[in-house]
A and B are shown apart, each in its own frame.
Chain A
Amino acid sequence: MLSMIAVACGGSTEEVVEEVAVEDEHDHESTLEQVQERGFLKCGVSTGATGFTEVADDGSYSGFDVDYCYAVAAAVFGDYSKVEFKQLTAAERFTALSAGEIDVLIRNTTWTQSRDTELGNDFGPTTYYDGQQLMGRKADGLSESSTLADIDGLRVCTNAGTTTEKNITEGAGLVGATIELVTVEAFSEAIDKFIAGECDIVTTDGSGLVGRRAVNDALNDWAIFPASPISKEPLGPTYRSNDSQWADIVNWTVYATIIADEYGVTRANIDSFDYEAAPEMGRLFGKNDGELQTKMGLSADAYYNVVKQIGNYDEIFSRNLNPLGLYREGSYNDYWNNGGLVYAPPAR
């Protein structure tokens, strides 16, 4: 009995002691050094976002955001699997980042001015351009060309305490539409209410709406509008301020996937690709001296490993989001010279 008490007390505090000792040494190290010494990357992801962070029945992770976690690990270690995921709720994500519990936050987080300037975070390049839209039933007379003015007098379901809620109130107020706002805790509840007929409209980021419409097989029944979203939601990686080495590593991991996409380098053709004809790709993949990467504190072939193991932007996108009915063509996420916003600075 006595030993039980002692063990029980011990069980919960022993980790504490070890970690204190370890962290003290780490205090003045850069994020990269911490990550390398630890041997794995701590990546903050969502507790669940269809297509972006999913946990399969065997506990394995997949999704668009998850793939970028894997990509950063591949850049740092040359092995994508050296990553530990921390599922974070919307409320804790920034605290977890600033407290050092995670090295990078890739959790469909919208880049806003206040989050960038006030919270001690910096945002990396946007990986997915999202925007808030509304979804209603075609049977109620709504169509893809409907506008905010058409929702006058309707019941709108959304999740509480997010920018989504503020955007719709603000937007409806501007066009003079009076709406009855029904707020619930999570988007899944909002859509359940919408299906059960307890509200006429459901609103959240466009990717979420398109995804749900596809899996519910309701392409002909539900309309998503307005065509240009009522808000801008650029989603991308977030890291702590004042560590530009780490920021560069994360940023260029994203850029590397985009540049590889520009040149059409995929996981399949990466080894047969003609690097003589594309010197930029050669530089990025460390085919000559790889000085660009080694100066960043990475190995010369860091970004080769990223594309080899995870794939280029288009592969990551289509693998995770095409099955949900989200396509790049015609969206902001298309390649920059196809009219989209996906663009990377040159590697030289």
Chain B
Amino acid sequence: MVDVIKKNIKSVQESLFSSVGSSVLTIATSYLVLNFFRGMFGFIMSSDKDWLAVLNNMQLYMVQAYPESDFIRVWISVGLTFVFSGISIGLWRSEDRSNISVIFDRFFKVGLGLLFFTIVAPTFTSYMGNDGSVITEEVFSRSTRLGILIPTLIGTVGFLVLKNVKINFSYNNSDVVFLYLFIPVVLIWFVKLPVIQLDENRDRIMPDPLMPIANTTKIPWSVIFVLFLLSYFIGIYFKDVKRLKNIMSISWFLLPLLIFSWIFKKPVIEMNEVLTGDIPIFVIFFVVGLLVVLFINNPIVKKYYSIYLGVVLVGTLAGVFISIPMLAKACLLLLSLFSMVVPAVSTSTQGKRSLIIIWLVALVTLTFLLRGGASETGIIVPGSSIFGGFSLTWLLAIFGTYVSFPLGVMLALGRNSKLPIVRIICTGIIELVRSVPYITWLFFASVTLAVFLPAGVEFNLIVRVLMVTAFFSGAYFAENIRGGLQSIPKGQYEAADAIGMSPFQKTGLIVLPQALRAVIPTLVSSAITAFKDSSLVTIIGLFDFLTIGKTVIDNQSVPVNFVGHQRENLIFVAAVYWIFTFTLSRRSMKVEKRLGLGER
């Protein structure tokens, strides 16, 4: 025990007070950080802050005006995401085990931090009164301080003892996620929060009475936690099925599309359109794909392959401009991509069979998702859109990434193309888009784009924002991917040429997989940037997460009166963004590790 303390003191001495200069730096920085913390604590605790402005508006923050009768759809969306996470964590369960003392150590450190901050927290805080005088009030009395200090001290010492006792118990690193999630799930059943109650004059009863958390919050989260746990065990059970991992990866890409087009949106399906539109198109394209797979390697047919591919490609491009059903356009695009891959794979019966299965599954998925996406929503919202608040933030971030990533790949390939026209156009787009700030593009979308469009053409503002976002992040993706393309040795291209691969096969099978793998870290950071940048839409009046905190709640007057409580909301918004981006970046680090990046 004494040795441990001595060792710690020594390490502190070495790292913080090794010389006069570093001692001065340490003291000055600690002073600044401490004062910042004390100021922050005083701000949060001061009585002129109304944190109910945040708590009372949780529903507005998350889904804005989404009707309460359809909340089950929101819960299903959240639940599905958790179930998918559970299965994935189970499937990719790490084999690393840690001793239980690691957990005790973590709790010990949290305890130490809590102790430290309880000791340094200010007793008094002050704010400006209406008449300009400074009002000082006690926010952290001695009894509260002791009330926190003593249990924390006991706990911290307990964990210190526990972590140094040799307990021969180790746990799997993946399991511990559930312990950390279990704590809040248990807490929501016991914690009481202040709630706004009105008296008969519709005035707020102050101080706000404490109430248990509503069942409509507690029960869904508990159910989701149980499902999460169950799906984790399912994942572990099927851990060795390799194919399931592939299916899971693809499902992760499809999940947001399913949520946005079917679950969240509640499309009104008109059977008439399905029967006369979707099914015939589906059958035609399935048959064409089937024929391609079966006969493409027939020597007679193969001669006409390039003509066929040309026709499909031209059809795809033309489809963008002519008026045919959306599904036909998407199927054409899918068919042209599919046709490029087919000749190399459909050489054996085995290959043909899996190609047909892939084609069928892809077409069914596409038809299904597009039907949901193209149909009218059955949700009646007393506002402008069923997306608002956090759901809009996610919509912008996810669709922004989904559209801009393929666009970025195409722009990057185009910029490296040997054809001068393609190269000039792609370089032009990239440079034009990147040289203008994102905010300017947003203003362009909101104010100017509508004027540029031909008379009568009208896009929804969200669609316009998605369009500029796609191009903007697409240009950045393109430059990242170009970096990856340049990292591929010339020998790879030459080898592909040597075994007689077509340009499409060379790009699709040799170049891109290596190039993308090399730039995963930058791609992830671009995706995180896209998530954060989605908050910029607040300046063009879209009701995203930040707008609600910044301009909406600040204006709620009767009867809740949250006017002037903008800063509490801004702190909350910042905290939520931090939690999400931090989690995302931690997860992406794990993914990088798994792919073995940086270990070559």
Contacts and interface: CB of A to CB of B under 8 A. Distances in A.
A60 B564 contact: no
Nearest to B258: A7
A12 B403 contact: yes
B382 A12 contact: no
A23 B456 contact: yes
B101 interface: no
A20 interface: yes
B60 A188 contact: no
B365 interface: yes
B556 A55 contact: yes
B346 interface: no
B555 interface: yes
Interface stretch (A81-89, A144-152, A258-266, A273-281): A81-89
B451 interface: yes
Nearest to B448: A95
Contacts of B466: 12
Contact of A47 (B329, B382, B552): B552
B599 interface: no
Contacts of A16: 457, 459, 463
B329 A10 contact: yes
A175 interface: no
B566 A59 contact: no
Interface stretch (A121-129, A158-166, A189-197, A291-299): A189-197
A176 B454 CA distance: 51
Contact of A137 (B131, B381, B456, B563): B131
Residue among A50, A91, A222 having the largest count of chain B Cβ atoms under 10 Å: A50
B281 interface: no
A122 to B, nearest CB: 20
Interface stretch (A211-219, A225-233, A335-343): A211-219
Contact of B567 (A140, A192, A222): A192
Contacts of B402: 4-5, 8, 11
Contacts of A23: 456-458
A91 B326 contact: no
Interface size band for A: 35 or more
B152 interface: no
B326 A14 contact: yes
Interface in A305-348: 323-324
B399 interface: yes
B564 A54 contact: no
Contact of B540 (A6, A11, A92): A92
A196 B455 CA distance: 49
Contact of B60 (A12, A55, A87, A100): A55
Contacts of A86: 384, 461
Contact of A17 (B326, B333, B334, B373): B326
Contacts of B458: 19, 23, 99-101
B552 A7 contact: no
Contacts of A14: 326, 370, 373-374
B338 interface: yes
Interface stretch (B15-23, B63-71, B489-497): B63-71
B29 to A, nearest CB: 27
Interface stretch (B79-87, B182-190, B249-257, B590-598): B249-257
B383 A84 contact: yes
A100 B455 CA distance: 10
A27 to B, nearest CB: 5
Interface string A59-92: 1110000000000000000000100111111011
A7 B557 contact: no
Contacts of B541: 47, 87-89, 92
B561 A215 contact: yes
Given A2-B362, A84-B383, A20 B456 contact: yes
Residue among A5, A12, A23, A323 having the largest count of chain B Cβ atoms under 10 Å: A12
A50 B539 CA distance: 19
A174 interface: no
B131 A139 contact: yes
A27 B399 contact: no
Contacts of A191: 564
A89 B540 contact: yes
Interface string B529-565: 0000000000111010001100110111111110110
A13 interface: yes
A221 B383 contact: no
Nearest to B539: A89
Nearest to B459: A16
A179 B494 CA distance: 73
A51 interface: yes
A161 to B, nearest CB: 13
Residue among A54, A55, A86 having the largest count of chain B Cβ atoms under 10 Å: A55
Contacts of A268: none
Given A4-B253, A12-B470, A55-B60, A139 B456 contact: no
Given A2-B338, A55-B60, A7 B373 contact: yes
Contacts of A9: 330, 333, 403, 406
Residue among A57, A95, A323 having the largest count of chain B Cβ atoms under 10 Å: A57
A137 B547 contact: no
Residue among A48, A138, A192 having the largest count of chain B Cβ atoms under 10 Å: A48
Contacts of B66: 59
B446 interface: yes
A95 B451 contact: yes
Contacts of B564: 188, 191-192, 195, 212, 215-216
Contacts of A51: 557
Interface in B43-80: 56-57, 59-60, 63-66, 68
Residue among B363, B399, B543, B555 having the largest count of chain A Cβ atoms under 10 Å: B555
Given A48-B551, A87-B541, A140 B560 contact: no
B338 A15 contact: no
A58 B373 contact: no
Interface in A11-65: 11-21, 23-24, 26-27, 47-51, 53-61
Nearest to A136: B132
A87 B253 contact: no
B277 to A, nearest CB: 13
Nearest to A11: B373
A5 B539 CA distance: 29
B366 interface: yes
B128 interface: yes
A12 B467 contact: yes
B326 A139 contact: no
Contacts of B60: 55-59
B404 to A, nearest CB: 9
Nearest to A16: B459
Given A9-B403, A59-B382, A48 B554 contact: yes
Contacts of B456: 20, 23-24, 26-27
Interface of B: 56-57, 59-60, 63-66, 68, 128-133, 250, 253-254, 257, 260-261, 323, 326-327, 329-331, 333-334, 337-338, 362-363, 365-366, 369-370, 373-374, 381-384, 388, 399, 402-403, 406, 443, 446-447, 450-451, 455-461, 463, 466-467, 470, 539-541, 543, 547-548, 551-552, 554-561, 563-564, 566-567
8 contacts: A2-B337, A5-B333, A5-B402, A19-B457, A56-B60, A87-B384, A89-B539, A95-B451
Given A87-B541, A101-B450, 5 more contacts: A4-B254, A5-B333, A59-B66, A95-B451, A101-B458
Can you list the 4 inter-chain pairs with the closest CB atoms, starting with the nearest?
A59-B65, A8-B402, A99-B450, A218-B130
Interface of A: 1-21, 23-24, 26-27, 47-51, 53-61, 81, 84-89, 91-92, 95-96, 99-101, 137-140, 186, 188, 191-192, 195-197, 211-212, 215-218, 221-222, 323-324
